[in-house]
A and B are shown apart, each in its own frame.
Chain A
Amino acid sequence: MHYKILHRTSYHYEFPVTVGHYTARLEPRNLPVQACPWHRLVMRPEPWVRSFRTDAFGNHVEYFEFEGAHQELEVISRSLVKVSASCPPFPSATPAWETIREEVLGTGISPVTAAGAYAFGSPLIVPSAIFRDYAASSFPAGRPVLEGVCDLNQRLHQDFIFDPTATDAATPIIEAFEKRRGVCQDLAQIMIACLRSHGLPARYVSGYLETLPPPGQARLVGADASHVWVSVFCGGNHGWIDADPTNNLLPSERHVTIAWGRDFSDVVPLRGITLGAGKQRLTVAVDVEPVNEE
């Protein structure tokens, strides 16, 4: 599938901002199943300084600074992305989950020990007995890892109510877990906490999702938001496999990956620290439009 993506973020500040520092992680990654041949990031007003780098997880990051008073800021990201269908292995063909847990603690650099970068606690996700207990029924002894992941994916989807009013970006995952309510960010981070509590490497993926319009209605421009899901390490042969607990599916052509990290704090799409801004009003609009392949 080919997509044309428009992601527009606007800030309105209560008072004029004199100095602002920002980082943006908005450029989709290039992957075996995904290519991003074209990407542009435009800011209004024009920043004073811009620079690019690749972060520790391989994501594209842009850093920019503003000097001089402004009360409005608009950041517009446009990308063209091609996503190929991925074919996940048969769950029963994946190794027992305990094997992965043990191999992650081994020595030397291999795909398995490198996946250890995502196997432990991170700033927003602290594995604990609570998550271990919840996930325990999905991971009985000897079960193939992807079977367990699919089971957990399905249970989270079933047990949790999608409720944007229950949590915000700063809600600790334990609170969302106790409420059994939240949005895709909460579900993804809870699933990661469950997996890491079993010693399994799991990463947090940020990206976009093409939503199908309801029958008989035109597709709503800007109605789509950015989306997040999970990727689980399923052993050296199968590598990383994505799982989307919000939709209870294993992602394929309809998910576009921007960035991944240990949790939300590693992949925040746009983060800014401003001086003297007072309150700020933020609006985000995302449009993921399929285009004809030419």
Chain B
Amino acid sequence: MQSSTLLPISNLASHPHAPVSACFADYHSRTSGFDEMLDAQGSLRPHWMDLGARLSQWTAADFEGRKQSMQRLLRDHGVTYNMFDDAAGTSRPWSLDVIPLLIPAAEWSFVSQGVAQRSRLLNLILEDFYGPQNLLACGLLPPALLFANPGFLRLGNVVPGTVFAPMIGFDLIRGADGAWRVLADRTQVPAGIGYSLENRIISSDVLSGEFAGLGVQRLAGFFEMEREAIRALSPLKRQTASVVMLTPGPMDPTYFEHAFKARYLGFPLVESADLTVRDRQVFLKTLEGLRRVDVILRRMEDVRCDQLEQRNRSNLGVPGLTEAWREGNVVLVNGMGSGVLESQALHAFMPRICEHLLGEPLLLQGVPTLWCGQVHDLARVLDAPDQWVLKRAFPGGNRRTLFTGSLDAAARAALLDEVRSEPHQWVAQEILTLSTAPTWVNGKMEPRSIVWRTFSAQSDGVQSVMPGGLSRVSHNAQEQVIAMQTGAISKDTWVLADGPVDTFSLLQDRGAVLRPARPPGGVPSRAADHLYWLGRYAERLEQTARVLRMIFRRFIGEGSELQTRELALCRDWISGLTLLPAELMKLETTETLLADLRELLSNPKREGSIPGLINLLRFNAAAARDRLSDDTWRLFNRLERDSNLPPGPLVITNALGVLDTLILDLAAFSGMQLENTTRGHGWRFLEIGRRMERSLAMLEYVKEAARIAVHDEAILMPLLEVADSTMTYRRLHFSRPSLLPVLDLLMLNETNPRSLNFQLLSLARHTSQLPQDASSTHAGMGKNLADLLLSKLSSLNLSSFSITEEHTGETIGRLCTDLSDDIETLSNHITEHYFSHAARRPA
């Protein structure tokens, strides 16, 4: 390591006692234009004095250490941003810079007023666009600007009083003149509120000293207001407004945020299949039946929300939703068609519209913009195209940002031709140099262009602006376009307080604010479905790990005669199990067998492999993310890391190490399920899934082992090992295992938590507590099926068996098959009865 990394940054400057600014000389030399931290002379700006002095004392190792702490916390919290362009469909960890963006109190006061004004203004514009269209009649906006905008939906008459955009995001940038300007309004699905909160939780933790010392405004108050604003939107003004958050699903790039925010606000996270429209009202399908929904926080683009009304190639959407909304029976946050305001072309008309609608000047200016759809503006642009940035006027499709000056002659001519032939599709904006903020990258502090997104929440009489927000800096130093899709780095935004910080809610009980509220009772059927499969896959993973461990153990040691015999029997035994591929155990040589076992440990594409099962487990966990605790999520993240085998040829002790850790991790998951989960229906389905999978596994083990044991009881030791019952058996019997006592322990013993009897008793208990529709012909059917299973098992009379007779194995085999069939029937009953509408289930 270089020695300089051990020295504070200030010591890197030539004079150890030089003014603070000296230690930022290197940084200053790389700034051009407006820098957030340093003024033109390279001195710290007043609001940076405190943090700047602190940072100047940090060594590079201090920065790196904090960066790593942040990355670890982000990973543990499972913060991700899914990538559309990632062929594997995986998610990428969120990246957060160590250094926050600072906003001084006086500046915030102006910006927050400007944002609040703009939020009122945008809502009035939406009401006009989807109502009387006075703005067009008054000549304040060319009608073509509205008609050419694909975000302008032809909705027809919307009930008066409809609220269009209670939640809006604002992308702000600062140009060379130091003034904040609006780059874009995010009116349709304003992403980033959840990430802002997550960033704050992490940065206030890792930088706790700085956070407390600087007097940073808290976000908790905003979230309280947001929750109130959403509740106040309920069309019935009910005390207990029923609010849900609608997500496209785990494949959405910002799914993490949907789940996180739904949990934080205490609203159920639902997918479109969870909702149904009946008599033009929206209902949530829950295990208990249909439940009326008043407000939907929509995280889906409006054109995907209702396939009855909008062309829609995906399977998403709630047919009839638009009709229900148009009638005023449900509130959408934000309303259909609100994306119309995301057009860059509107900037050109905003100041006059503001004067007209609010009777006051526009406080926050937009980026100076010309809409090429106006003849005189088009002429100005074509006159001197290199003075402008050319952008598409409307969102969607191709969102290119083009600097004509940077194009070669042919490309430049082609672009200008495009503008000439469809001028209404283009805007020209003044070229602004974005301000830069210090960012810790590549082991040093670098100035990077910054965009700050803040948010407003409003409904009747409640209006609030988030004192903070999501800031992003470009991934590389030259980049002028900043998007999380292209690898930008996020920053927390610290708005500094003038006087004492409003900390009432945080100081009262920090946990109460940062922890999610208790979710309401109804469990969406789809969530129950995923929890059920989560239980099944967790158990299947554990069973697979135990079987593999049992085999690997027989490859180590001295290779005694017993070991060799057991291994041969195991090959026969396991070839009959559906858990592992049938062809596996037929492999002749030890080498080919080991090579194949290695595949099962490391190849996610191999069916039934450990990584394959972990993927299925995580898929279901992700889909029920809002119902799993942070600790559980951390454990699932660990599962993936712990299952990584070192590269190279298989070393058996390594494989055993991985399997041991995996089994411990899964034990931790069961423990959490037992000790840290509320006994609601969600938990019950997870339990049912686990018990069913364990029953099916045990029945298979016993069926195949009994077939072999009538010839050679040496198979019973591996059987007990896989069934995790070796200790129990030894304690009870003090002898070599023998078939009948083993069967008694694994099938009938109701105190052994691995026995079939134990699973069936548990299934009978859970099925009797499932929600029942008394009028249904299926009422109580689950419980009846579980009871039938128990009575069949009790008919097993072990004393009537003779262990050496061939037909003993067959009789046991038949009973096992019969019981397995009944369990499958029970599984089908639960699937059809409780989550029949869920179409996308793996395996």
> Which of A37-45, A54-62, A143-151, A154-162 lines the interface with chain B?
A54-62
- State in angstroms the CA–CA spacing of A154 and B317 once bound together: 41
Name the segment of B134-142, B489-497, B525-533, B664-672 touching the other chain: B134-142
B831 to chain A, nearest CB (A): 14
Chain B residue contacts of A67, Cβ below 8 A: 278
Whether the Cβ atoms of B144 and A56 lie closer than 8 Å is: no
The answer to the question of A105 belonging to the interface, with a C-beta cut-off of 8 Å to chain B, is yes
Q: In the complex, are the beta carbons of A273 and B307 less than 8 A apart?
A: yes
Whether A107 lies near B142 (C-beta < 8 A) is yes
Asked if B280 and A49 sit within 8 Å, CB to CB, the answer is yes
Tell me if B308 and A117 are in contact (CB < 8 A): no
Q: How far is the CA of A104 from the CA of B142 in the complex (A)?
A: 9
Min distance, Cβ B579 to any Cβ of chain A, angstroms: 33
From DSSP, what is the main secondary structure of chain B's interface residues? loop
Which chain B residues numbered 152 to 169 have a C-beta less than 8 Å away from chain A? 154-157
Binary interface encoding of chain A residues 42-76 relative to chain B, with 1 for a CB under 8 A from any of its CBs, else 0: 00000011010111110001010101000000000
Given the complex of chains A and B, what is the CA–CA distance between A51 and B320 in angstroms? 12
A55 engages B154 (CB within 8 Å): yes
Asked if residues A271 and B308 are in contact (CB atoms below 8 Å), the reply is yes
Whether B279 and A21, one on each chain, are in contact in the complex, defined by CB atoms closer than 8 angstroms, is no
CB distance from B270 to the nearest CB of A (A): 16
Q: In the complex, are the beta carbons of A56 and B142 less than 8 A apart? A: no
Q: Is the CB of B308 within 8 A of A116?
A: no
B586 within 8 A of A: no
Distance (whole angstroms) from the CB of B329 to the closest CB of chain A? 12
The reply on B375 being an interface residue by CB < 8 A is yes
Segment 112-163 of A: residues with Cβ below 8 Å from B = 113-114, 116-121, 123-124, 127, 129, 132
Complex Cα distance, B154 from A57, in Å, reads 8
| A239 part of interface (Cβ distance < 8 Å) | no
Name the B residues within 8 Å of A113 (CB-CB).
Answer: 136, 142-144
Interface residues in B119-156 by Cβ distance below 8 A to A read 133, 136-139, 141-144, 147-148, 150, 154-156
Given contacts A105-B374, A109-B143, A119-B147, contact A21 B308 (CB under 8 A): yes
| B7 sits at the interface (CB 8 A) | no
- Identify the interface centre among B142, B147, B155: most chain A CB within 10 Å of its CB: B147
A263-277 to B contact mask, C-beta < 8 Å, 1/0: 001100001110100
User: Does residue B373 face the partner (Cβ distance < 8 Å to A)?
Assistant: yes
CA A46 – CA B277 in complex, angstroms? 18
* Beta-carbon contact of B311 and A55 below 8 Å: no
CA distance A262 to B153 in the complex (A): 12
Contact call B144/A119, Cβ cutoff below 8 A: yes
B154 is contacted by which of A56, A104, A132 (Cβ under 8 Å)? A56
Residues of chain A lying within 8 A (CB to CB) of residue B154: 55-57, 261-262, 266
Q: Which residues of B, 210-240, contact A by the 8 Å Cβ criterion? A: none
Q: Residue-by-residue, is B233-275 near A (CB-CB < 8 Å gives 1, otherwise 0)?
A: 0000000000000000000000000000000000000000000
Tell me whether A275 and B278 are in contact (CB under 8 A).
Answer: no
Q: Which A273-289 residues have a C-beta within 8 angstroms of B? A: 273, 275
B150 touching A121, Cβ below 8 Å: yes
B780 within 8 A of A: no
A63 CA to B309 CA, complexed, in Å: 11
Chain A residues with CB under 8 A of B29: none
A124: chain B residues at CB < 8 Å are 311
Measured between beta carbons, the chain A residues less than 8 angstroms from B144 are 104-106, 113, 116, 119-120
Measured between C-beta atoms, what is the minimum distance from B407 to chain A in Å? 19
Interface readout for B295-327 with A: 1 if CB under 8 Å, 0 if not? 000000000000111110000010110010010
| Closest B residue to A198 using CB positions | B421
The listed residue (B143, B319, B373) touching A273 by CB distance below 8 A is B319
CA of A114 to CA of B147 in the docked complex: distance in angstroms? 9
Are B373 and A105 interface neighbours, CB within 8 A? yes
The reply to whether A53 and B157 form a contact with Cβ atoms under 8 Å apart is yes
Contact A54 B156 (CB under 8 A): yes
Residues on B with beta carbons closer than 8 Å to the beta carbon of A132: 421
Q: A57-B154, A120-B147, A129-B421 are in contact. Are A109 and B137 (CB under 8 A)?
A: yes
Enumerate chain A residues within 8 angstroms of B141, measured Cβ to Cβ.
107
Q: Which A residues are CB-close (under 8 A) to B472?
A: none
A56 touches B155 (CB 8 A): yes
Residue A23, interface by CB 8 Å: yes
A108 lies within 8 A of chain B by Cβ? yes
Counting chain B CB atoms within 10 Å of each CB, which of A61, A63, A105, A273 scores highest? A105
Return A268 CB to nearest CB of chain B, in Å: 10
| A122 shortest CB reach to chain B, Å | 8
Q: Which of B481-511 contact A (CB under 8 A)?
A: none
> With A and B bound together, what is the CA distance between A266 and B374 in angstroms?
28
Residues in B with CB closer than 8 Å to A51 are 280, 323
Whole-angstrom CA separation of A49 from B324 in the bound complex? 12
Question: Does B276 belong to the interface (CB within 8 Å)?
Answer: yes
B303's closest neighbor in chain A, by CB?
Answer: A123
Q: Are B307 and A54 interface neighbours, CB within 8 A?
A: no
- Expressed in whole angstroms, the Cα–Cα distance for A61 and B352 within the complex equals 37
For window 70-86 of chain A, which residues contact chain B by CB distance below 8 Å?
none
- Roughly how many angstroms separate A208 CA and B544 CA in the complex, as a whole number? 65
| Cβ of A134 to closest chain B Cβ, rounded Å | 14
Contact with B along A217-251 (1 / 0, CB 8 A): 00000000000000000000000000000000000
Whether B148 pairs with A120 at a CB distance below 8 angstroms is yes
Is A102 an interface position by the 8 A CB rule?
yes
User: A19 on the interface (CB 8 Å rule)?
Assistant: yes
A141 CB to nearest B CB, Å = 15
The chain B residue sitting closest to A56, CB to CB, is B154
B310 neighbours in A (Cβ, 8 Å): 123
Contacts of A114 in B (CB 8 A): 143
A123 touches B143 (CB 8 A): no
Q: Which of A105, A118, A273 is within 8 Å of B142, CB to CB?
A: A105
Query: Which B residues are closer than 8 A to A by beta carbons?
Result: 133, 136-139, 141-144, 147-148, 150, 154-157, 276-280, 307-311, 317, 319-320, 323, 326, 373-375, 421-422, 424, 837
Please give me the 5 A-B residue pairs with the lowest Cβ-Cβ distance, nearest first.
Answer: A56-B154, A273-B319, A21-B319, A120-B148, A113-B143
**Further pairs besides A21-B320, A106-B144: 15, Cβ < 8 Å:** A19-B276, A19-B278, A53-B157, A55-B154, A56-B155, A57-B154, A65-B278, A65-B280, A105-B142, A107-B142, A109-B133, A109-B143, A119-B144, A121-B150, A273-B317
Interchain Cβ contacts under 8 Å between A and B, 24 examples: A23-B309, A51-B280, A55-B154, A63-B320, A67-B278, A102-B375, A105-B142, A105-B375, A107-B141, A107-B142, A108-B136, A108-B138, A109-B133, A109-B143, A113-B136, A116-B144, A119-B147, A119-B148, A120-B424, A123-B311, A262-B154, A265-B311, A271-B308, A272-B308
